Each structure stands twice: as structure tokens, then as C-alpha cells.
Chain A
């Protein structure tokens, strides 16, 4: 089920929200949790019922291992638990990728049937792996099955995050079970946040998506201007798509009295790559920092201090190595393809340059220049993220920079002749009205991306004013007006 599906909006959500709060008040916190777990299973199974077994199996297995780890924090058990999770993920998501690459190494061209990846497998696997590590490290003291199941299966965050840590949910789940917690106190704010997310997804992301698609589908026939237009359009689409989803998830959490972490904080305002990754997909970055980057970095740093390494060697091994590993894993986490690996590599490169700049105290660049370089790096990485293959991605980049492809559309032939630039009928910018519409959407979305805040500095500061009611109503109507056919969220594939 999709958050922007009328079945979800007008049937599932109102019924589940009503039953949840009614049960919480009349029967008790535990009963309301059982209800939301059952509703979440229905939500997940709506897509492909057989994969419910995989989800349930994963929950039962991980709960058993967690339970054992809390009793006896054995390293062997932790590794077994982690490897099992990774093996399941690898089987469902990466087996074709690895087999095809092994085949290529052996000089064979093995082709496999496309595999159907269970929805959200990366999200629930990583969330549970983190929980196993926390249980082993003593970050969690006790856990009940109902809390565990709610933590993993809770439908607002099940499909595409935010990636929550058990330690930040522990108290909320206990309160919920005990019939305390936020109850309905965040409901109103949740509705408003959900509407904002729905508006971002349906009215903004889905409106610019066809422009981006039209460019990426004809990579080998683009001109410079078309390539730039398409890449900027996709950069905006993915932000509004995913941050819209995240807002909806956070809003839904609030409606059920659960505070989920915010995933974005005006990422396109970042003036450096370090800054960018503190603002983009915050919970995923936190996960990778905590469970991959920091352990590797700390291990190497310890060695560096003991062996008195030079600054250069320390930088190379304690900064560059963990960044490269973290971002290559992050790239692969997004998808089983080399394009995603390069997406990670481009980001790693940007971060390394950023860290080196800081390490050697080079003059701080002008803010605008910093923003420009950051956006350039982000857009380059997103080309690999979106393109069907590396060849297409490289072609698009080439078209963006090669002056030979600076060709004006025929309807601008007058200006092209004046400027001495060649012109012809273009495939994407085929008509003036299409191009003007695309440019209009890009300008509007750039403004929204730069001003529309993702997180209020303090939730209590948001007042239920008439202005808030009018703006939320306007956004809801606009979203409903565009809700012809719900389209999937980009991050559902991960």
C-alpha cells in the first residue's frame, strides 16, 4: 500500500487510527500495539502477501537472537545473527549482481532472470542488525516481543524509514504499552506534517518527474541544455519524493503518538559535502556513521596513535579508508548495480576533498562557491543513481560539459543565429511551451527546496492557527487534485 493511495488515505488510515486510539483508551496500550502490528502486517502484505512470511521470519529470528544476546552477549552469536541477516539480504537483493560479476571475472556472460526484491528488506534488515549490535554492546537492557515487533513492523516507517534505533524508541514503546505516551497530543501536528509530505510527493515530486524521465530515457540523444535540465529536475524530484515520504512517515508516527526522527534538514542549502550529509537522509547517515564509519575509524586511529603515524598516513588510513568503505557500502545498500557503487564513490570523493580541505586548513571558500561545488558533486552522484547504466550516466555527464553539444532548440533559432550557436529540433526541448513549463517547475521547486523547512526548531512552537489550517487545507486539496494515479516512492526500491 502506498501512502498516496486513496485506499490508504480514505480507508486504511482513518480506520486504523480510530481503532488504535479507541483500543488504547478502552482496552489498553498493549492491545493498541497488537492492533498496529496487525495493521502494519496488512499494510506490508497488501503488496505481495507471500513476503509477509519473510518479514515475520526475520522478526522472530532477530528477536530470538536479541533475547539471547541480552542474556549472554556472545560475539559469536552476534556475528552469526549479523551474517544471517546479511545472507538473507544478499540472497534476495544481491545474488544476481554477484553472480553476474563473478561470471564476468571468469570471462562468462551469465544472464539471470530479474529478481523480485522483497519490499523494504534493506530497511528492516539494517534496523535489526543495529539492534543486535546494541543488544551485544549493552545499549539495550531488556526487550519485549511486542515492543520489538512494533519497532520493526510499525507501518509509518517500515517501508522506507526513517531508520530508527531501538534505543530512541525504547521509552516511547514502553510508555505506549503502559497506556501513557503522547496519545493524541501530537495528532493535529501529525496531520499537518503528513499533509506537507503528501503535497511534496504528489504536487511537487510527481509533477517534475516526467521532465526528468524524458531526459534520462534518451541519454544518447541529449544536448547540453537538455542534460542539465534533466539532471536538475531529477535532483529536485528525488528530494521532494523522499523528503515527502519521510514527512508523511513522521506525520503518521505522530498521529499514533510516536515521534520518529526527521530525515532531512534543507539539504540543498548545504555549503559543503560534510554539511550535506548532515542534512540528507539523516537517519541513514547516522546508521552508517555509527555502525561502519566510526568503528573502522576508531580502530585505525588507535593504531595511528600507538604507532605515531604521520599526518598524511593518518589522514589516508583513518579518514579516507573509512569514508570509502562507508560510502561504497552505502552505495550498494541503495541497489545491486555498479551505478550505485559509483554514486557512493562520487560522494566519498567529495567528502575526502572536503576533509582534506579542512585538515590542511586551506582558505575557506566563499559560501556560494561552496554551495555550487557541493551541488555539482551531489548532482553528479545522482546521475549515476538515476541512470539505467554507467554508459548512460557517463554520456549525460559528457553532454553536460562538452561544448560541442551546446545546441539551441529550433524555436530559439533567432537567438541561436544571433549568438552564433547551432540549432536544431531537439528531442526533449522540442517545443517552447514544454521547455518553459519544465523551467517553471524547476524554478518553483528550487525555491521550495531552499525555503521549505523540514523540521521546526521546536514542535511546541507550532500553534494551530487559522493560517496553518488554510495553508494545510490548500496543500491537501492540491495534492488530492493531482492524485490521479498514485506513483511509487523512489526509495521503495531499496
Chain B
């Protein structure tokens, strides 16, 4: 090896390695307080942190079937319902943390409404989903200690992770967040959900039907972690009214679940679990108001736009206004 290359291997290259690692670490340190804006949940968290107080009497929680609908449609006058819906990946745990963050800036609501798929109550985030939608989003001391106590397994075992080995999260997403153009706020659709013509029967694409059939065979459970999160929600606000609205399900899934008594069983489990923690618990199944045929779905979990999403928004609006708020 000539002198030049020897110097390269012994000095220049190792120094460059250290220099780059330190540079990235420094850059990551500068960006450490930049809130992430990778997905809707990140943006919702930023909106709760940086936006003005809304002090709504009703807080709406739920998973993507409801979140999807509320992006387009308005279900209550401005400020009446705070939309904290998110997607399934963050689980009920994510909803609990969102509510906790909401309460830091807003007066406690009178009621909390969960409008979600029933599967939401059996889902615990794990692996990559937990990292992207839970641990990297909710990392305040209190949140971390709750997660460590109840969901210890979702944390990776790396005690110290240099930024250079995780540039994507520690620099990439944060740098992208700096370029976010629009200010973040709680999502409220503008359109009023009027009755629209919908396709009630037609053949369903085989891949969608396969997904629906698969969903129908998934058992409905109430997970232990979800149970703990719901109990915590009830502890957060005294004398809260808690409503569970079962979101639209494809007819095939709904009939199968009904036949097996799974929906009643889930309701009983929720009531049993929360008995004593929450003062008033209510359970409403939207599928009893209207059948959602398989053709209403654009995949196993989400409704077709625009007709069926408008239909769900209309029903949700009716239920929230007539059965929940006026109650």
C-alpha cells in the first residue's frame, strides 16, 4: 500500500466516518424538536399541540373508516364535534393518547364517541406499525411510561441509537416536515352529507370479496391492552358519557358476525369491562339502521366514495345529533 492509500485507510477514511456520524448526530439534535408530519396522525398531533383550543362538547374517536368519511363531510356545526379519529395502526391506545393531548388544551368534553370498526377493539399495534404509529408519535414521559407498563414488547431493544443508523426517522422525515406548507388543524370536512344515489347490488371484484370473506372469519375480541386504554379514558374525565358506534360493515361480514353473536358479545365485554370506570356507556350499531352491501366497500374495511361514504356520514350525523347530543 503506498503512503497515500495508507493515509487514506488509517486516517482520512476513519476521520470521515466519525465526521459524518457526528455531523448527522448534530443535525438530528437541531431537528429533535421538529414535530414529524409523516402521516395524518402526526399532523393531528401537531394540530393538537400548536392549534387553538376548540373546547368541543363531543370528542369523536375512531379508526380509518370514520376518519376517511370525516375528511370530506361535516357532521356537526363547527366546533361541536372534535374529530380525533385516526387509523387502525395506532390502535385504541393511540386514541387514548390523542384524547389526553386534547385535554391539555381544551375543556373536558361531555361525551366521547368511538365510531369505529369492531375489530379496532381487538387490535394491538406491533412491530413496524407500533414504531411508526405509536412509539415515534407518543413519546412524552407519561405516554412512554404507560407504554412501557402495558406494551413493553413494542419497544426495540436498542438502548442508544445513533442518528447515523436511523437517518430516515431522525433526519429524513423531520427535514421533510420543515417543508410542510399548510398549517395543521383538526380535520373537518366541508360538504354536507346529503342522500346520494348508491349502487345497492352488483358483482364485487374478486380481490375485494376475498378481503371481505377474510374479515368475516376474524374473531372479534376485546384486547387486554385496549381494555386498559379504555379504562384510562374513563379515568381521565369524571362522569363522562361514552358511546360506541359500530361503523358500517359489509353485509357478508355483518351477517356472519350477527349469526355468531359476536357483536352482542363484544358489547357485553365492553360493558362488563368498563362497569365502574365509566358512568354511562352506550352501544349503537349503525348496521341496524342500514344494510351496507358488499358492493358498498372499496376494500374489506372502507366505503366506496362518494355515495356510500356520504351515506355513512349522513347516518353518523343523525345519530350524533339526535341520539347522542340531544340525549
Interface, chain A (partner B; CB < 8 A): 183-185, 187-189, 191, 218, 221, 410, 413, 424-425, 427, 430, 433, 463-464, 466, 468-470, 472-474, 476-478, 480-481
| Nearest CB of B to A68, in Å | 41
Q: Is the CB of A187 within 8 A of B1?
A: yes
Per-position binary interface string of chain B over residues 142-180, scored 1 when its CB falls under 8 Å from any chain A CB and 0 otherwise: 000000000000000000000011111000000000000
Cβ of B298 to closest chain A Cβ, rounded Å: 4
Quick check: B39 and A478 within 8 Å, CB to CB?
A: no
The answer to whether B12 touches A466, judged by C-beta atoms less than 8 angstroms apart, is yes
The answer, among A221, A410, A464, A474, for a CB contact under 8 Å with B20, is: A474
* Cα-based distance from A480 to B165 in the complex (angstroms): 7
> With A430-B299, A433-B39, A472-B13 in contact, is A477–B4 under 8 Å at CB?
no
The answer for the CA separation of A469 and B8 in the assembled complex, in Å, is 7
Nearest CB in chain B to that of A472: its residue: B13
* Cβ-defined contact, A473 with B5, below 8 A: no
Most buried by B among A189, A424, A473, A476: A473
Contact A185-B2, Cβ < 8 Å, known A477-B17, A481-B165: yes
A–B Cβ pairs within 8 angstroms, 15 of them: A187-B1, A188-B5, A188-B13, A410-B298, A410-B305, A413-B305, A425-B302, A427-B207, A433-B39, A464-B8, A469-B12, A469-B16, A476-B17, A477-B17, A481-B165
Q: Which residues in B have their C-beta under 8 angstroms from that of A191? A: 9, 13
In the complex, the answer to whether A425 meets B208 with C-beta atoms within 8 Å is: yes
A184-B1, A410-B305, A464-B8 known, 4 other contacts, Cβ within 8 Å: A188-B6, A191-B9, A464-B4, A472-B16
Q: How many residues of B contact A (CB 8 A)?
A: 31
Chain A residues within an 8 Å CB radius of B6 = 188
Bound Cα distance from A101 to B294, whole angstroms = 44
> Which 5 pairs between the two chains have the least Cβ-Cβ distance?
A464-B8, A188-B5, A469-B16, A473-B16, A184-B1
Name the A residues within 8 Å of B2 (CB-CB): 185
**Chain B residues touching A, majority SS:** helix
Q: Is A188's CB under 8 angstroms from B9's CB?
A: yes
Determine which of B1, B20, B39, B305 lies in contact with A188 in the assembled complex, contact meaning CB atoms within 8 Å: B1
Chain B residue nearest to A411 (CB atoms) is: B305
Q: Establish whether residues B298 and A464, one from each chain, have CB atoms under 8 Å apart when the complex forms.
A: no
Interface string of B39-56 (1 = CB under 8 A from A): 100000000000000000
Residue from the set B6, B12, B206 with the largest chain A CB neighbour count within 10 Å: B12
Q: Please tell me if the beta carbons of B13 and A469 are within 8 angstroms of each other in the complex.
A: yes
- Which residues of chain A have C-beta atoms less than 8 A from B302's C-beta? 425
Residue in contact with A477 in the complex, picked from B5, B15, B39, B164, CB distance below 8 Å = B164
Q: Is B21 an interface residue (CB 8 A)?
A: yes
CB distance from B105 to the nearest CB of A (A): 29
A464–B305 CB distance below 8 A? no
Which residues of chain B are within 8 angstroms of A464 by Cβ–Cβ distance? 4-5, 7-8, 12
Q: How far is the CA of A334 from the CA of B263 in the complex (A)?
A: 54
Q: Chain A residues near B305: list those with CB within 8 A.
A: 410, 413
A472 vs chain B, min Cβ distance (A)? 7
A464–B12 Cα distance when bound, in Å, is 9
Q: Closest B-chain residue to A483, C-beta based?
A: B165
Residues of A within 8 A of B164 (CB): 477, 481
Interface residues of B in 199-236 (CB under 8 A from A): 205-208
Give residues in B with beta carbon < 8 Å to A: 1-2, 4-9, 12-13, 15-17, 19-21, 24, 39, 164-168, 205-208, 298-299, 302, 305
Among B1, B19, B164: residue with most chain A CB under 10 A: B1
Contact between chains at A478 and B9 (CB < 8 Å): no
Per the bound structure, the CA–CA distance linking A188 and B1 in Å amounts to 8
Contact status B13-A473, CB under 8 Å: yes
Do the beta carbons of B16 and A466 come within 8 Å of each other?
A: yes
Could you tell me if B4 and A221 are in contact, using CB atoms closer than 8 angstroms? no
Taking a contact as CB atoms under 8 Å apart, the answer to whether A189 and B165 are in contact is: no
- CB-CB under 8 A from A425, the residues of chain B are 208, 298-299, 302
Q: Across the two chains, which residue of chain B brings its CB closest to A187?
A: B1
CA–CA, A125 to B148, complex, Å? 55
- A218: B residues at CB distance < 8 A: 207
Contacts of A463 in B (CB 8 A): 4
Contact B20 A477 (CB under 8 A): yes
Chain A residue numbers with a CB within 8 Å of B298 are 410, 424-425
Residues of A close to B9: CB separation below 8 A: 187-188, 191
Contact B5–A481 (Cβ < 8 Å): no
Smallest CB separation, B38 vs chain A (Å): 9
Which residue of chain A is the closest to B170 with respect to CB atoms? A481
A481-B166 contact in complex given A187-B1, A470-B20, C-beta closer than 8 Å: yes
Taken together as a complex, chains A and B put the C-alpha atoms of A469 and B16 apart, in Å, by 6
- In the complex, residue of chain B having the shortest beta-carbon distance to the beta carbon of A191: B9
The CA-CA distance from A222 to B21 in the complex, in Å, is: 42
Please, how many angstroms separate the alpha-carbon atoms of A424 and B13 in the complex?
A: 52
Find chain A residues with CB under 8 A from B15 CB: 469
Q: How far is the CA of A481 from the CA of B28 in the complex (A)?
A: 15
Q: In the docked arrangement, what's the CA distance between A481 and B12, Å?
A: 21
Closest to B10 in A: A188
Q: Complex formed: what's the CA distance from A403 to B5 in Å?
A: 57
- Distance from A165 Cβ to chain B, minimum over Cβ atoms (Å): 28
Complex contacts, B167 vs chain A, CB 8 Å: 477-478, 481
Provide the residues of chain A in CB contact with B208, threshold 8 Å. 425
Q: Which residue of A lies closest to B15 (CB)?
A: A469
Contact A188 B8, CB 8 Å, known A410-B298, A433-B39, A481-B165: yes
Q: How far is the CB of B178 from chain A (nearest CB, A)?
A: 18
User: Within 8 Å CB of A477, what residues of B?
Assistant: 17, 20-21, 24, 164-165, 167
Bound-state CA distance A485–B203 (Å) is: 43
Q: Name the residue of chain A whose CB is nearest to the CB of B11.
A: A469
**Separation of A296 and B21 alpha carbons in the complex (Å):** 57
**Chain B residues, CB < 8 A from A433:** 39
Inter-chain CA distance A481–B302, complex, in Å, is: 36
Residues from chain A with a CB closer than 8 A to the CB of B16 are: 466, 469-470, 472-473
Q: Which residues of B contact A472 (CB under 8 A)?
A: 13, 16
- B189 → chain A, closest Cβ, in Å? 16
Nearest CB to that of A481 among chain B residues?
B165
Most interface-central of B13, B21, B168, B207 (chain A CB within 10 A): B13
Residues of A within 8 A of B166 (CB): 481
Interfacial chain B residues near A183, Cβ < 8 Å: 1
A438 to nearest B CB, angstroms? 16
Q: How far is the CB of B36 from chain A (nearest CB, A)?
A: 14
Q: For the complex formed, measure the closest distance between the CB of B59 and the CB atoms of chain A, giving whole angstroms.
A: 27
Known: A464-B8, A480-B165, A481-B164. A185 touches B20 (CB 8 A): no
Tell me the bound Cα distance from A463 to B302 in angstroms: 58
